Amino acid sequence: MAVPKRRTSTTRRNKRRTNKGLSVPPLSRDPQTGDYHLSHRVGKDGMYKGEQVIEQKK
């Protein structure tokens, strides 16, 4: 039976487990434009909660 010769250090163990908790970020759909954006963030058109927060350059 294969048995490890040395104990795995906590640092090495934690390095192996770093990517375990990754997940897809939650996206919200903008009802006016239909675009997806991160929750609680301003959309590409400068709108946030139905208000124009950032003026668009022309």
> Each residue's pLDDT tens digit in the chain (58 positions)?
899 999 999 999 999 999 888 888 889 888 888 889 888 888 888 888 888 888 888 7
Grouping H, G, I as helix, E, B as strand and the rest as coil, residue 32 is: coil
**How crowded is the C-beta side of 6, counted as CA atoms within 13 Å?**
5
Q: What is the pTM of this model?
A: 0.49
H-assigned helices in the chain: 10-16
Q: What is the pLDDT of residue 13?
A: 95
- What ranges do the domains of the chain cover? 26-52
- Structure-block tokens of residue 27: 């996206």
Residue for token pair 């959309």? 43
**How crowded is the C-beta side of 22, counted as CA atoms within 13 Å?**
4
